[in-house]
Amino acid sequence: MYSDGTPIFLEDDIFQIIILTDDTSSIQVDPNITDKETNKETSSKIIEIIKENLKITVREMPEILTVSVAGVRYHINKMKEEGILQRIGSTKKGEWKIQK
């Protein structure tokens, strides 16, 4: 799955390993590493999914998106902080409210 490239090791406050992939695969380990455009696109997709099903859970969203559960949580939490999304009720039986 990985290319024949050599991994890049970065040592700073946080130790990072960058593994290059070939054109046929894409791996997202940390949603914080993505660029702003990708974050905006993913957030827009999450909003569209929620509009279609206000009762959808965070765990169900990765089945539709190409983002991990952690990635979905990252985007949901950002949108909650920005006042765009709100969860009303419990995690399983509640529903989403889109503010903006």
Strand extents, DSSP E, 1-100: 8-10, 16-18, 85-88, 95-98
pLDDT at 32: 57
The model's pTM is 0.61
Looking at domain 33-98, which CATH architecture does it have?
Orthogonal Bundle (1.10)
pLDDT at res. 25: 45
Would you say residue 3 has pLDDT above 60?
Answer: no
Q: What is the pLDDT of residues 51-79, one digit of tens each?
A: 999 999 999 998 898 888 888 999 999 99
Query: Which tops the pLDDT comparison, 83 or 21?
Result: 83
Cα–Cα–Cα angle for 34, 41, 57, nearest 5°? 95
- Token digits of residue 69: 């559960």
pLDDT recorded at residue 15: 80
